[in-house]
Amino acid sequence: MTFFLAILDGLIVLLLAPLTVGFVRLAKARFQNRRGAPVYLPYLTLLSLMRKEMTVTKHSSWVFAAAPFFVLASAIALAFIVPTAAAGVLPDFASNLFLVGGIAAFGSVFLAMGGMDAASTFGNMGASREMTLAAFVEPAFYMGFSALALVGGTWSLDGILRHLASLPWSAGVPAASIALVALVFVTLAENARYPVDNPATHLELTMVHEAMLLEYSGPSLALLEYASAVKLTVMLGLVASLSLPFFLIQPPVTALGLVLGVLALIAKLALAAFVLAFIESTFVKMRFYRMQEYFSLAFIVALAGLLLALISMTR
Amino acid sequence: MLSLLAKIVATGSITEPVSTFPEPELGETGENLKAAIGALYGGRSLHIRHVDAGSNNGEEYEMTALGNAFYDVERFGLSFVASPRHADILTVSGPVTRNMEHALRTAYELMPAPRIVVAVGDGAVTGGIWKGSYAVVGPVDLVIPVDVRIPGDPPAPADILAGLLAAVRKGRS
Amino acid sequence: MAPSVFGLLFVAALVLPLLGSAAALLARRAGWGNALSQYLFMLSGVLGLAALAGYFTALHAASSVVLLSSPVLAFSVTPLSAFFLLIVYLGTFITSLYALGYLPLYADAYSVPLTNAVSGVFLFALAAVLLSTTVFTFLLSWELMSLSAYFLVIADRSPESLSAGFLYLVMTHIGFACLSAGFLLLSGGHAFISFDGVREVARQLNPAALAAAFALLFIGFGSKAGLVPLHQWLPYAHPQAPSHSSALLSGTMLKVALYGFLLALTLFPGIPASWAFTVAAVGLISAFFGALSAAVEHDAKRLLAWSSVENMGLIFSGVGIALVLHGLSMPLSGALAAAFALFVAFHVLNHFAFKTGLFLATGAMVAKTHTRDLDLYGGLAGKWPAFSGVFLVLVIAAAALPPSGTFFGEWLYLQSLAAALRFSSPLLVASAAAALGLAALVGGLALFAFVKFFSAAFLGRARSEHAEAAEPMPVLLLVPPLLCAAFSVLLGLFGLPVLSAATAGFGSLVPVTTVVPGASMSAWFVFALLAFASAFAFIAYRVFARNRTVRRTETWDCGTPLTPRMEYTATGFSAPMRFFFRGLVMAQKEILAEAVVPGNPWIANRRIEWSIASVWEAWLYRRIARGIVSVAAFVKRLQNGVIQLYLLFVLLALIIVVLVAL
């Protein structure tokens, strides 16, 4: 039963991923006093891309062609091992936080290799920057999750979520709320959002993630766009569920609980998308060469969360 | 930040409803447009790549306005992208100068099929006042096949938007 | 197999490399001389592995096999040395297989018979160090190993090799002096005493002598293993050797240094926490500097050498942390100490697998492109698809990405550190948090370095005619790296469950390794997950992609034709790292503009000059060298040719001697 719930949790995320992107775009449009595109548009975009042919630079090798599959594989694997709608359904080894970090790094490595294989300076620059960010994000990532793990008493994300769900509210646990702030920093960096990267930029020199995608077209572009949507949904869903651990699908499960869980996840994703759009509408993008400040801040916030967790443990 | 937010809330949505746009005159549209729109789910989500092949930037000013809150091109599923490889529609402005001919050809070549080319402005449609100059090749259709023509010098944002929407509608029929 | 049989096998495996050396010298004019030597080396590897298989299956764990015991030389196999012998003989086999096809390519650069003769001695010495059971035998074998390695470093006799070899020779002898002093201090001055005897003597020593001996031994073995600040020779010396020897130096000899350190640890009656902390801290700092230097390096083989510094640093820090935890008597500390010990064993194997493979593969690449500069490669994936696939697997292992064995090793490390956050001592928790942050950053930098390596070498277009004119890759050079890659993957699949006794079944299908309560990992699950997710992605593509035509075009150039010069090189790729760590890598960049006429705004040409340097070299080595030179300059004043003064010195010396003697 829990096995099916785990699969279901992953499938829900895979299905909802384009919707999350639609939510973010809609919220951003409203912040700009625009009407904005319908939320279901990303589905149509992906399907349209799937119907196009592929034009590929003749200077690229098999790595360029294979990279989208591995990037998407990493995102799909994340969708299945990171708990979002359901809690208490994965065994400890399956959602170990270091495994989550490793799988995420696996995807960004192949993305960067795809960018390097395009023989274009834009992709190369994006790859170099992406790998720099990937190197810097690791300490904050592991430190933030370790703080949560100390609160939850387990090293699996699923276990942490289960623990937080058993408390009245995670905002009542100061360590968890500070660690969650650090995880918001990490989420923004991992998903190439403001203030680390500008997902809507048309100026190649300000790009990180988009620059690596410039040479992809048609179905392979669709795979990559979908992969980044899935990754965004996974991270937003995780952070939202950790901060609002309500209406989670937990065994023993009922039909009502299942429906409520899915609806609650959609609501949480919409809320997270709103917050993301709020951040992107009120903050400015930082210069790339100031990124060490951003990551130091993220690391220190995570460390503060860790300290609080340790202090509350010794009490 | 709070005053900014207050202003955002106070202003609300200021996007023009589509009914206020003028009815465009598109002229001939070919089979390619229909095939492309048909293949791409009726053109509900189309990506635009713009190439300035030698215009006086009048068209670019007007096209930039498409993204603002007043015209909001995104609500129709149209969006501008950073690479021709991502694009379904190539908009071209200006008479094609000899220096930009190669750039225009590569941009078109790199676009994955099905693809639509839209000539924006008199320069792109006919060559405009530069027609016959030694520095220009001529209108866009001398270089790459054109599906839709939006005349004007420069066409107003409303004209461009109405033209694009009319082209999509025609493609669907 | 009876013990006597594999005892004989061990002896045969030990002696065969020397036969190979002799064969290389005797058959130096024959065309088949190289092949004969390599076959003898490979036979030694096979016999050694067979003997080890017999040893591991037939014997109970804590027993040793005596091969030779005379008052002067004594060799025997112990469980610890057997583990490291595994690496030596695997390395012997793989590198000799490679040298079969590799050395003939370099008949002009190296004297092949001499190189093989030295290699034989080196292979013999590697095994001899591991088998030694007396202080004298150990030091003799150690010196033999160091000296033969020196001749491998200077094999091509180029000025660079000679200067790198000189640095190596000086450093290794400083290390050797420390080792001799340390061992003799422990053994009470007896050189021919067995290690068991040393253990007895050491028990009687006072703490100060023990501390001095520990410091000396740590410096001695640490300098061989490339620990900061005694790492300076390693990135210069290892890459200069022929590539199959580089692989042995980095993949195997560094582990022998680790073996020496572990052996030395067993001689002490106890290891105080402060020593263990020092080892852990030095290890982590080495790991950080190794990873950072690898991230900004653009010489292909030197990058690998820096990565060896990083990995040896991680291993030594693992040893240090295990010792710290071993000395504690807190709940969990025993389990975590075991986890770190497991990490050390596992990472020794993993590092051996990917580093040997990468050195061999890089050697093949260098042989076919005639350059070691990463900036001049590019586009090799299109030329050598199979080779680049093997290389990618090795790179994934080196970057510690799932599902390689290295990932599970680093998981053990990070997970155990994170688990140590639960201790109640503030000092321990603070150290664990600092170590966790630093280790995560080290992992990130290693990731950066190896993505840079692979991308700059294999992807995009060829950056120079070196890569443009690369010849096809012969199968003989592809097979040894392939073996290493396969070994890496197998280690991922089976390593953790086999090495750790703590396994439990999940539905009795998947072996799961548990480190501490609440933290477990299953390698098979990770393999299955990635395979499932890739299959999922592929099926999604097949189902949804209605149009699967692919059209080949030029790269998008915005209208200006692109040249390979516009691509990022390894140097360009690492520019952000040079910027963010500019203090530590001492990065300097200057744009030099030359005007047509002085004062004229027209620029005739413009070029950029940049450099990175080692902080250790600038702040430590150069200072020491300057100090030595100034002392020498001062002493030189005495040597002024006045005979009376010299006589005075002789007289003074005599008086002092007499005074001391009385």
Q: Is B84 on the interface with C (CB under 8 A)?
A: yes
Nearest Cα of chain C lies from the Cα of B51 at a distance, in angstroms, of: 10
Provide ipTM, 2 decimals.
Answer: 0.95
Q: Which residues of C touch A291 (CB under 8 A)?
A: 580
Two tokens at C457?
């070498």
Are residues C642 and C607 part of one domain? Answer: no
Are residues C589 and C629 part of one domain? Answer: no
- Average pLDDT score over residue span C544-562: 86
From residue C101, alpha-carbon distances to B73, C38, C111, C243, C244 in Å are 64, 10, 15, 12, 11
Q: Which residues of A touch C566 (CB under 8 A)?
A: 121
CA-only gyration radius of chain A, Å: 19
On whether residue B124 sits in a domain, the answer given is yes
SS3 C594: strand
Q: Nearest chain C Cα to B99, which residue?
A: C559
Residue C122 reports pLDDT greater than 50: yes
Q: Which of A231-235, C535-539, C594-598 has the lowest mean pLDDT?
A: C594-598
Length of chain C in residues, anyone? 662
CB nearest to C461's CB, from A56, A59, A63: A59
* pLDDT, position A26: 93
**Tally of CB atoms within 10 A around B101:** 18
Q: Number of folded domains in chain B? A: 1
Are residues C12 and C36 part of one domain? Answer: yes
- Average pLDDT score over residue span C440-461: 94
Point out the residues of chain A with pLDDT beneath 70.
1, 170-172, 314-315
Contact A52 B83 (CB under 8 A): no
Contact A292 C580 (CB under 8 A): yes
* pLDDT, position C502: 43
On whether residue B9 sits in a domain, the answer given is no
CA B71, chain centre distance (Å): 14
CB nearest to A53's CB, from B11, B72, B113: B113
Mutate: best of A24, A26, A44, A120, partner B, most B CBs <10 A: A44
Strand C603-611 vs strand C588-595: parallel, antiparallel, or unpaired? antiparallel
Two tokens at C445?
């930098």
* pLDDT, position C498: 65
**pTM score of the predicted model:** 0.93
- Do A96 and A159 touch, CB atoms closer than 8 A? no
* pLDDT, position C29: 83
Q: Nearest chain A Cα to B107, which residue?
A: A55
Contact A34 B15 (CB under 8 A): yes
On whether residue B125 sits in a domain, the answer given is yes
On whether residue C257 sits in a domain, the answer given is no
- Do A91 and A131 touch, CB atoms closer than 8 A? no
pLDDT tens track for C30-57: 888 889 999 999 999 999 999 888 888 7
Sorting pLDDT into bands at 50, 70 and 90, what band is B101? Answer: very high
Q: Is B15 on the interface with A (CB under 8 A)?
A: yes
Q: Number of folded domains in chain C? A: 3
Two tokens at C292?
């950072």
Nearest Cα of chain C lies from the Cα of A228 at a distance, in angstroms, of: 13
- Count interface pairs A-B at CB distance under 8 A: 97
Residue C565 reports pLDDT greater than 80: yes
Q: CATH number, domain at B92?
A: 3.40.50.12280
Distance separating alpha carbons of residues A144 and A97, to the nearest angstrom = 10
Residue B24 reports pLDDT greater than 80: no
Contact C556 B106 (CB under 8 A): yes
Contact B106 C554 (CB under 8 A): yes
Q: Which residues of A touch C445 (CB under 8 A)?
A: 135
Distance separating alpha carbons of residues A285 and C488, to the nearest angstrom = 41
Q: Which residues of C touch A116 (CB under 8 A)?
A: 451, 455-456, 459-460, 568, 573
Nearest Cα of chain C lies from the Cα of B110 at a distance, in angstroms, of: 6
On whether residue B80 sits in a domain, the answer given is yes
Mutate: best of C547, C549, C553, partner B, most B CBs <10 A: C553
From residue C498, alpha-carbon distances to C57, C147, C502 in Å are 14, 37, 9
Nearest Cα of chain B lies from the Cα of C540 at a distance, in angstroms, of: 19
Residue B169 reports pLDDT greater than 90: no
* pLDDT, position C500: 58
Q: Which residues of A touch C520 (CB under 8 A)?
A: 91-93, 96
Nearest Cα of chain A lies from the Cα of B131 at a distance, in angstroms, of: 31
Contact A93 C429 (CB under 8 A): no
Contact A282 B46 (CB under 8 A): no
On whether residue C581 sits in a domain, the answer given is yes
Contact A33 B80 (CB under 8 A): no
CA A290, chain centre distance (Å): 22
Residues of A with CB under 8 A from a CB of B: 25, 29-38, 41, 44-45, 47-48, 51-55, 201-202, 204, 207, 210, 213-218, 221, 281-282
On whether residue B16 sits in a domain, the answer given is no
* pLDDT, position C505: 40
- Do C387 and C361 touch, CB atoms closer than 8 A? yes
SS3 C539: helix
Q: Nearest chain B Cα to C552, which residue?
A: B110
H helix intervals, C399-474: 405-420, 426-458, 465-468
Q: Which residues of B touch C551 (CB under 8 A)?
A: 112-113
Q: Which residues of C touch A68 (CB under 8 A)?
A: 537
DSSP state of C495: I
- Average pLDDT score over residue span C611-635: 87
Two tokens at C166?
């000189």
- Count interface pairs B-C at CB distance under 8 A: 21
On whether residue C541 sits in a domain, the answer given is no
- Average pLDDT score over residue span C249-278: 91
**Domain containing residue B107:** 32-172
CB nearest to C553's CB, from B100, B102, B109: B109
CB nearest to A41's CB, from B39, B45, B68: B45
Distance separating alpha carbons of residues B39 and B31, to the nearest angstrom = 12
Q: Which residues contact C589 (CB under 8 A, 6 or more apart)?
A: C608, C609, C610
Question: Of the candidates A10, A54, A33, which has an alpha carbon nearest to the alpha carbon of residue A223?
Answer: A54
* pLDDT, position C111: 87
- Burial of residue C64 (CB within 10 Å: 0-12, 13-18, 19+) is middle
Q: Nearest chain A Cα to C448, which residue?
A: A131
Q: Is B85 on the interface with C (CB under 8 A)?
A: yes
Q: Which residues of C421-433 are buried (b: 16+ CB within 10 A; e: fewer)?
A: bbbeeeebbebbb
Q: Which of A223-227, B145-149, C389-393, C555-559 has the lowest mean pLDDT?
A: C555-559
Nearest Cα of chain C lies from the Cα of A48 at a distance, in angstroms, of: 9
- Do A237 and A264 touch, CB atoms closer than 8 A? no
* pLDDT, position C508: 43
Residue C639 reports pLDDT greater than 90: no
Q: Is C562 on the interface with B (CB under 8 A)?
A: no
Helix (H) or strand (E) segment spanning residue B90: strand B89-93
Mean pLDDT taken over chain C: 88
* pLDDT, position C218: 95
Contact B102 C559 (CB under 8 A): yes
**Domain containing residue C47:** 1-202+229-236
- Do A250 and A70 touch, CB atoms closer than 8 A? no
Domain boundaries along the sequence of chain A: 2-314
Q: Which residues of C touch A154 (CB under 8 A)?
A: 518-519
Q: Which residues of C631-661 are buried (b: 16+ CB within 10 A; e: fewer)?
A: eeeeeeeeeeeeeeeeeeeeeeeeeeeeeee
Instruction: Report the Cα–Cα distance between both ends of chain A, in Å, rounded.
Output: 38
Distance separating alpha carbons of residues C419 and C432, to the nearest angstrom = 9
Q: Which residues of B touch C554 (CB under 8 A)?
A: 106, 109-110
CB nearest to A119's CB, from C461, C522, C546: C461
Nearest Cα of chain A lies from the Cα of B127 at a distance, in angstroms, of: 28
Question: Of the candidates C628, C632, C631, which has an alpha carbon nearest to the alpha carbon of residue C620?
Answer: C628
Instruction: Report the Cα–Cα distance between both ends of chain B, in Å, rounded.
Output: 48
Reading phi first (left if > 0) and then psi (alpha if -120 to 50, else beta), residue C599 is in left
* pLDDT, position B100: 92
* pLDDT, position C511: 63
* pLDDT, position C521: 83
SS3 C590: strand
From residue C281, alpha-carbon distances to C56, C93, C276, C278, C581 in Å are 34, 35, 9, 5, 20
Q: Is B170 on the interface with A (CB under 8 A)?
A: no
SS3 C399: coil
CB nearest to A310's CB, from C379, C429, C532: C429
Mutate: best of B86, B98, B101, B106, partner C, most C CBs <10 A: B106
Contact B106 C551 (CB under 8 A): no
- Average pLDDT score over residue span C322-333: 84
pLDDT tens track for C472-507: 888 889 999 999 999 999 998 887 766 654 444 444
Are residues C82 and C12 part of one domain? Answer: yes
On whether residue B5 sits in a domain, the answer given is no
* pLDDT, position C504: 42
Are residues C147 and C130 part of one domain? Answer: yes
Asked whether the CA dihedral B38, B43, B45, B51 is positive or negative, the reply is positive
